[in-house]
Amino acid sequence: MDGGHMEKITVFGPEHFQLRPDAPEIFGWLGCEETMPCHGAYREAWPEAAALLWEQMRPQAALAEHDDLATVFLTLGASPETRVDELFGQQKYVLASLLNTLCDQMLFQMNHQFTDILQKKLNAEHRYMAERLEPGIDFSPEVQRQRFAPLQSAFPDVTISASGMLTPAKSMMYCVTLTHQACEQTGLHDCSRCSQKDCIYRKA
């Protein structure tokens, strides 16, 4: 993965995404379904959390294309995690947890919607997604930084730690190999490849 060559960069703003909070999914992730004692507190905090979500998040995506490899970056911006940290600091734990999980849900929705955007773009060029490559599984933090480098000017405040963690935290980055051969790959994250067995979002 050579990040030193000129790449085609496309940035996508909020208008490219239709993000909709899904309360049952959120409450399921948090383990506070209707039958649980905690449900009332989370249900009561929902309107304020949803309002904060719309106030704080700034959805953006970027695509860097180079030959048969594409780098995808998705983010909600820095404001959501700052607000979550403030709420935890104020001991508003239910509201903070709810806003934090809502942000994750929006990032996952962006991920799904962007794969559709990318697939439609590739189909028009008679190309397909072949394999999704993810930091920490398929390539090192050093390669991750190389792949992000072409996008740095569009996202100057984004940093990648020595361990590969993105800041802002409500962000996601991965690469997709491209092919001219018809392919059934969706480009979505495969939970079975991840080592975080206790992740509340895990589907496999």
How large a percentage of the chain has pLDDT more than 90?
Answer: 73
pLDDT digits (tens, 9 = 90+) for 42-84: 999 999 999 999 999 999 999 999 889 999 999 999 999 999 9
CATH number at residue 122: 3.40.109.40
Residue 138 lies in a domain: yes
Range of the domain at 164: 8-193
Sheet of 69-75: strands edge to edge? Answer: 8-12, 60-66, 69-75, 171-179, 128-133
Residue 18 lies in a domain: yes
Residue 71 in contact with residue 154, Cβ under 8 Å? no
Residue 12 lies in a domain: yes
pTM for this model (two decimals): 0.89
pLDDT digits (tens, 9 = 90+) for 155-200: 999 999 999 999 999 999 999 999 888 766 656 555 665 666 666 6
Residue 158 lies in a domain: yes
Count up the domains in the chain and report the number: 1
Residue 164 lies in a domain: yes
